[in-house]
Every structure is written in structure tokens, then in C-alpha cells.
């Protein structure tokens, strides 16, 4: 039914408007105190084989919603009821900002992909921290993805990230430093280790300062557009600084091997592509990271995960957690539930009594 609704209705209206309307419907219906809990009992992860511990946090399922869907922490309770084991909000910047001019979100249906140049549109760290603080105690696991404010010079990036961490750190189950979006000028330059190290060090110090009673896990998000040696350098930095892990991968600016005609892409213009085109490169980066990092650090796989088999391959390659966004857009409200059921079936088919036992089982074949 959703696919028919998508074909007949959603794809005929601008992508960002469709997202706004769809997310509003999720918050109203699934977020309601009457229907929401009933839906959660039917759509939430039911199989204990999916339970996993990562950086000291218990997840009911490895499947999370990637950053970018709920930028301002408006619907985490409703999204958790759909079956996501965690919700990553943001990207959050210290300063509120409107993002890039519209239109800035586009569908590439032939590639089961999205192209966006949103530009970190969000209400700002102070506003989002207030929303996080107001959430009830019983809520989904929440990660907060933080980025550089557009108006802040690159040379002042560490201070800007640190200011955001100070505001949201007390309310986050984990924090992600995002230096890999292609839609903020100069941001991807921060993936170079010489620029990345002071940012990660500053955020780690700030989190330990504002949350002295517990260690807030800290991860960094990278893109598949990095050269192999740069992926290795980031992995080495993560290990050296004692970070908790890596999220791989963000959107790509590559345009090769797409079904969408080049003239259509030229008409749309710049932006990062998510969805199916990231499936193969995303898997390759997870494998490379696991080989470089060993079993100690957490890898969160995102990009091109459309079904349970995709998620299972990332887990066996070394990912402890997986995330989706574009797959959810194309798959509809029951997509998280389907992924969870498929993943549980695959784990039990192969004789695993827990998801943790499957993590990295293909690493020896690399």
C-alpha cells in the first residue's frame, strides 16, 4: 500500500514537502498517547536475538534512524515506536541556521536514492538541548550528531563543536562529530587528521567536563569519498584518542554508475547522494575499518541499507549497529519492523543465538 501511495502521491510533490508532511503524520499518529503505545507493541523489535550492547548502552535492535531525518528532535518518541533501536538527531550546530535555499532535497527513484544539499538546517544547540531535556525518561536511545555552524570560520571549528557539545552532551546517549557532509563549505576538509584531531580532542574534553558522572560515547562520521589511506588515518586517530567508534558512511558526491540520466543530475545540481549507490562502497569501508580497528571499537554502518540482508552483511563485515534513512523513505512506516524481522531470521538461520556473535564473523575473509 505504501509503495502505491508513494508512486501516486508522494513522488508527485516536492521531496522536502513530502518529508515534512510524512514526518508530521508520524508525530501525530504514532506519537499519540492512545495509538502510539499500541503501535509500538506491534512494530517494535520483539526478538531478543537483536539485543546488543554498544559503548555501554543497551540497544533493543541494531537498526537506528540516521541523522538528517529528525533534525530538531521533534519526533524521537514516535520514531522509536516504529521499531528503530535508536534515533540519531541532527545535524545540530551551535548557531541556529536555515540551511541552503530550496529546493534542496530531490528523489532519484531509478537509483532508489536521494540527493540533498540541506546545509545543516536546524534550530540550534540551545533549542535542541531544551527539547532533549524535556523528553521522558523512557525514550529511545538517542544519539546527537553535531556539525560546524556555517558562519564560523574553519580555523574556529574546534571551539564551535565544543560549544555544541557543552549544550547537548548531558542529554545524549552518544555524540557524533560530523565532518563529512558535502553541503557546508569547507567541512570535508576537517576529515584530514591534522584538522580533525583538535576538534575531537576538544569535544571529548567538553563532554567529560559537562557530564562528569558518566562517559558520553563519542564517534566520528566519515564519507565513502575518502581515499583508502585517509580512512586508515582516521581509524588510527580514533584508536589513538580513545574514541568509541566510527559511523560510515555519509552521503557521496560521486555520480558514477547511476541509472538517473546525467542531464537530470545536472539540472538538479550539487549535493550528496544517499541510498542504494552507497551500498557497495559503504560495505567496503566497514570492512576496511574493522580490519584497521580490530574488535575493540564500534562501527555504525549507514548508507544503502534497504533490507535485512543488507544490514546482515554489514554486521558480519564488522558493524555492531546499522542505520537507515533513504531506505525508510522508500520503504514506509513498516520498514524498520521488516528489517528487524528479516535480520532476526537471518541470525537464527545461521545459528547465532545473539547479534553480538555475528559481528565481524566475515572479517577473517577480508
Sign of CA dihedral 20, 26, 29, 34: negative
- 145 in Cβ contact with 125 (< 8 Å): no
- 65 in Cβ contact with 73 (< 8 Å): no
Please tell me the distance from the alpha carbon of residue 283 to that of residue 305, in angstroms, as a whole number: 10
Helix (H) or strand (E) holding 131: helix 125-134
Please tell me the distance from the alpha carbon of residue 356 to that of residue 319, in angstroms, as a whole number: 10
Strands (E), the chain: 52-54, 57-59, 63-65, 86-92, 105-108, 113-116, 141-146, 174-178, 218-223, 245-250, 272-275, 298-302, 321-324
Give backbone dihedrals phi and psi of 249, rounded to 5 degrees, phi first. Answer: -140, 165
Cα atoms in the Cβ-side hemisphere of radius 13 Å centred on 181: 27
Give backbone dihedrals phi and psi of 202, rounded to 5 degrees, phi first. Answer: -65, -40
Please tell me the distance from the alpha carbon of residue 173 to that of residue 241, in angstroms, as a whole number: 19
Using CA atoms, how far residue 366 sits from 13, 222, 226, 278, 363, in Å, is 44, 21, 20, 19, 5
Assign 239 to helix, strand or coil: helix
Please tell me the distance from the alpha carbon of residue 135 to that of residue 124, in angstroms, as a whole number: 17
**32 is a catalytic site residue:** no
Contacts of residue 349, Cβ cutoff 8 Å, sequence gap at least 6: none
> Of 149, 180, 181, 274, which one is the catalytic site residue?
181
Please tell me the distance from the alpha carbon of residue 270 to that of residue 68, in angstroms, as a whole number: 17
Residues annotated catalytic, as ranges: 181
Amino acid at each position: 500500500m505504501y509503495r502505491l501511495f508513494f508512486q501516486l502521491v508522494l513522488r508527485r510533490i516536492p521531496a522536502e514537502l513530502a518529508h515534512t508532511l510524512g514526518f508530521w503524520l508520524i508525530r501525530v499518529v504514532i506519537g499519540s498517547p492512545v495509538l502510539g503505545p499500541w503501535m509500538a507493541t506491534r512494530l517494535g523489535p520483539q526478538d531478543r536475538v537483536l539485543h546488543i550492547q554498544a559503548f555501554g548502552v543497551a540497544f533493543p535492535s541494531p537498526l537506528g534512524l540516521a541523522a538528517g531525518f529528525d533534525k530538531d528532535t521533534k519526533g524521537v518518541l514516535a520514531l522509536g515506536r516504529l521499531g528503530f533501536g535508536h534515533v540519531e538527531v541532527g545535524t545540530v550546530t551551535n548557531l541556529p541556521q536555515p540551511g541552503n535555499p530550496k529546493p534542496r532535497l530531490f528523489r532519484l527513484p531509478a537509483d532508489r536514492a536521494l540527493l540533498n544539499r540541506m546545509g545543516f538546517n536546524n534550530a540550534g544547540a540551545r533549542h535542541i538541548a531544551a527539547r532533549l531535556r524535556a523528553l521522558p525518561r523512557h525514550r529511545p536511545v538517542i544519539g546527537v550528531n553535531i556539525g560546524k555552524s556555517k558562519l564560523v570560520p574553519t580555523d574556529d571549528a574546534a571551539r564551535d563543536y565544543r560549544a555544541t557539545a557543552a549544550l547537548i552532551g548531558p542529554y545524549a546517549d552518544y555524540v557524533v562529530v560530523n565532518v563529512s557532509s558535502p553541503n557546508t563549505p569547507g567541512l570535508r576538509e576537517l576529515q584530514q587528521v591534522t584538522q580533525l584531531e583538535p576538534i575531537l580532542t576538544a569535544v571529548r574534553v567538553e563532554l567529560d567536563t559537562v557530564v562528569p558522572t558518566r562517559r558520553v560515547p563519542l564517534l566520528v562520521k566519515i564519507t565513502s569519498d575518502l581515499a583508502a589511506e585517509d580512512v586508515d588515518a582516521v581509524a588510527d586517530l580514533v584508536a589513538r584518542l580513545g574514541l568509541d567508534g566510527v559511523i560510515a558512511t555519509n552521503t557521496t558526491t560521486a555520480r558514477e554508475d547511476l541509472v538517473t540520466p546525467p542531464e537530470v543530475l545536472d539540472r538538479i545540481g550539487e549535493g550528496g547522494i544517499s541510498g542504494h549507490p552507497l551500498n557497495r562502497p559503504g560495505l567496503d569501508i566497514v570492512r576496511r575499518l574493522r580490519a584497521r580497528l580490530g574488535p575493540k571499537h564500534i562501527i555504525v554502518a549507514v548508507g544503502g541499507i534497504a533490507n535485512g540482508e543488507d544490514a546482515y552483511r554489514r554486521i558480519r563485515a564488522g558493524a555492531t549497529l546499522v542505520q537507515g534513512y533513504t531506505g525508510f523513505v522508500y520503504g514506509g512506516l513498516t520498514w524498520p519492523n521488516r528489517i528487524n524481522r528479516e535480520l532476526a531470521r537471518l541470525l537464527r538461520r545461521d545459528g547465532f543465538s545473539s547479534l553480538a556473535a555475528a559481528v565481524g564473523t566475515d572479517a577473517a575473509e577480508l
